[in-house]
Amino acid sequence: MKEQNSIPSSRISRSGKFIGTGIRIGGNYLKHYSKKLVNPQLDREELNKDNAEDIYNSLSQLKGSALKVAQMLSMDRNLLPKAYTDRFSMAQYNAPPLSGPLIIKTFTRHFGKPPSALFDEFNLHSSNAASIGQVHRARLNDRELAVKVQYPGVAESISSDLKMVKPFALKLMDVSEKELSVYMQEVEEKLLEETDYELELERSRFFTDKSSLPGIVFPRYYPELSCKKVITMDWLEGLHLREFLQTDPSAQVRNQIGQALWDFYNFQLHELRAVHADPHPGNFLVLPGGKLGIIDFGCIKELPEDFYSPFFSFVCPQPLSDREETIACFRQMQMILPGDTEGQVEFYYRHYKEMIALFALPYKSGEFDFGRDEYFRQLYGYGEKVTKMKEFKQARGVKHFIYMNRTLFGLYNILNELKAHIRTDTYPARLRETLCSVTAL
């Protein structure tokens, strides 16, 4: 893949990229409607592919928050047409990399010396490139290392980039501006955290120290070779999940990986009350022996008690079987609002209850086959149905839903790709008892 020698850094140059993309999209629409005059039955598939290609090409040149939003959108099958999710998923680990001279410049700025003076060997050609940074392979004292280098200007451009992304997102997602503003505010806060590699280093070491789980492997981190824009860790030799699936692994190994992933996420959620909230395939490696490597802790979502308890209460027999208790939980999480009429309360109660019952099914089954495509057709079919309802165009729910939903839907999607059949009751029974006793009070 061709390397980039520069990234547009000024607001004017970055906005110029967005304007140029908008012009190309306008041309795509003009071409589409011209063809439709000749063929009224023409669908939007070609239009969607052309738009997705133009938007991705522009965002991949800009890097940073704009590309990160595309990556996030690619994980939700309900928000965008398939052409967009397929193309945007490239941002997960296969974006165009930066050239070697820019990497040397980053090291010189932050360490006062080039990478060749810090490591015995350093490959200037990246191994993987994503939205915020790219990874280089290095060696020091016979240790194989992975060095993640942040793209220049990413943190400084987040706020202005998100403002420029907003018109595209409004059009593509078909949501109200108020709802999108709530989404963008939470996204901006988390993106700023993701660009702070010193914070990521601290969190990485916390999670690896706390999470001693079978089947899970974490790299060792090196603070002396890290800074605000660079993180150095052990190189884990393995395959990204989608590369792993291309090797046609056995059901036993797929189930083993799926079980480790499920247990890892539920340990974080229920023991640490903080979770790796970026569950895309580029952040996981399958290692020899069928173990799962976790290689990125840039995006962490902490769960306050006033959200955790009502959210996870729905894995218990109560409160869904108790109307008033369910509504009380919905009110606590602002899914039902103080000014709602009786008719609105009934409408949201009925639809949220149906949606949550479907989503919570794996938790209530003891074991679950995530390879059941029928379940995912139901899940995404329901999501598609409610997104078309005018009642769901307004902002509802506390801000914690944004990354919590992203986390769990991302986990479900990966388990579906693995076709994993796993035990889902492996998170500690005492936690289940605690949750259910809280909702019974």
In a domain, 268, yes or no: yes
In a domain, 201, yes or no: no
Segment-wise mean pLDDT, segments of 10 residues, the chain, 441 residues: 57 57 60 60 68 66 59 54 58 63 91 96 87 89 94 76 67 60 74 88 91 90 94 94 92 95 91 86 88 89 90 71 87 91 93 88 88 88 77 78 85 93 79 54 41
pLDDT of residue 440: 45
In a domain, 209, yes or no: no
In a domain, 425, yes or no: yes
Residue whose pair of structure tokens reads 């006062």 in the numeric block: 112
In a domain, 137, yes or no: no
- Asked whether 46 and 81 are in contact (CB, 8 A), the reply is no
In a domain, 151, yes or no: no
Range of the domain at 367: 237-441
pLDDT of residue 261: 94
pLDDT of residue 439: 47
Q: How far apart are CA 88 and CA 60, in angstroms?
A: 9
In a domain, 165, yes or no: no
Residue whose pair of structure tokens reads 């660009």 in the numeric block: 195
CA neighbor of 334 nearest in space, from 401, 277, 288: 401
Structure tokens that stand for 186 in this block: 């939470």
pLDDT of residue 416: 92
Q: Alpha carbon 263 to chain centroid distance?
A: 18
pLDDT of residue 299: 84
pLDDT of residue 294: 92
Q: Per residue in 1-32, pLDDT tens?
A: 556 555 555 555 555 655 555 556 666 655 65
Number of compact structural domains in the chain = 1
Please return the burial class of 315, using the count of CB atoms within 10 Å of its CB with bins 0-12, 13-18 and 19+. Answer: buried
pLDDT of residue 438: 46
Q: Per residue in 88-109, pLDDT tens?
A: 555 455 556 777 888 999 999 9
In a domain, 292, yes or no: yes
